[in-house]
Amino acid sequence: MKIGILGCTGAVGQQMLQCLSERNIEVEELRLFASQRSVGRIFEFKDKKIVVEDMATKRFDNLDYVLGALEADLSKEIADDVVKAGAIYIDNSSAFRLDDNVPLVVPEVNGNDVCNHSGIIANPNCSTIITMVACNAINKLSPINKMIVSTYQAVSGAGVKGMQELNEQIRSLGHGQPCVNEIFSKQIAFNCIPQIGAELENGFTTEEMKLQNESRKILHNPELIVNCTCVRVPVMRSHSISITCNLDQAKDLEEIKKALMNACGISLMDVPTPLDSSNQDLVYVGRIRKDPIFENGLTLWCVGDQIRKGAATNAIQILEECEKLIS
């Protein structure tokens, strides 16, 4: 197949390139696109050297898939050109996630939804992906109607520059120098920032509302209620998420653990940490216990690599789901 990657020089774009190689995707042709300042850079893919092209040229002809790792505004500008060229656009931004005509897909949860695309398929928010993988088996036992969620999000969620800022601040503080924050609203080194995204009229942030709005769409459950708090933490990569969910029907704890143990994309651990889950694609789940507040409540902790399963790998898995339909 012929594949293009938009935003190939960023953390997610680079991970997409790596995942294509790791998963042995049969790529006949690969085109890498970025902004003008990156044109001419060279990346290797399966012993081939590929020169980065200017995405403004919109050279999408004869491509089967284009993977987007762009900001939402840029993605909206270029999506029509990708579709008109005949490619399926798999977009990692927030541009089309809540569009009724665009499927929002976590392959382990609602992979069949790729059947309903009209040229564009959306990749969910990173925390949504990790949460949905962790909760899918539980939701199959009994539908989840309410969730209280706290996310502890790594600086990788802000891209390469977020990771660089944490490193630079730690280095500065270690030498007794003042640290500078440009990417984050406050110092992130040795600190937590309990706000990600812009604050809305209801007091929640845009990042926090994504978990409710996107989960409703993925689970086909418009009545799902989610109370979410998003926190940026000084972890390099992999998001951690505390989840308390209430089920329509009470389920035995051992039945829940067995369902999780057999679920696709999950590994059970007693105490999962970001370091455990970094640089791989499984969502680690642990600290499973009955919730004392909700009548049919359950509490768990999960961690997942934000750059991989939370972004790049999920996009590649969507591509694989599309290929299953063709074959």
- Give the CB-side neighbour count of residue 276, counting CA atoms within 13 A: 17
107-129 burial string, b = 16+ CB within 10 Å, else e? bbbbbebbeebebbbbbbbbbbb
Based on the number of CB atoms within 10 Å of its own CB, is 73 exposed (0-12), middle (13-18) or buried (19 or more)?
A: exposed
Q: Which helix (H) or strand (E) holds 149?
A: strand 144-153
Assign 288 to helix, strand or coil. Answer: strand
Question: Can you read off the two tokens belonging to residue 47?
Answer: 């012993």
Task: Look up residue 123 and give its DSSP letter.
Answer: P
Q: Phi and psi for 247 in degrees, rounded to 5? A: -100, 155
Per the DSSP assignment, residues forming a β-bridge with 139 are none
Tokens 């299953």 correspond to 324
Question: Max Cα separation, the chain?
Answer: 60
Tokens 């926090």 correspond to 208
Helices 126-141 & 206-219 angle (0-180, nearest 10): 40
Cα 118 to Cα 101: distance, rounded to the nearest angstrom: 7
Q: Which helix (H) or strand (E) holds 66?
A: strand 65-68
Question: Considering 126, 230, 302, 322, which one is annotated as catalytic?
Answer: 126
Give the length of the chain.
327
Q: Is 126 a catalytic residue?
A: yes
> Are the beta carbons of 85 and 4 closer than 8 angstroms?
no
Q: Is 239 a catalytic residue?
A: yes
Question: Considering 8, 230, 239, 322, which one is annotated as catalytic?
Answer: 239
Catalytic residue list: 126, 239
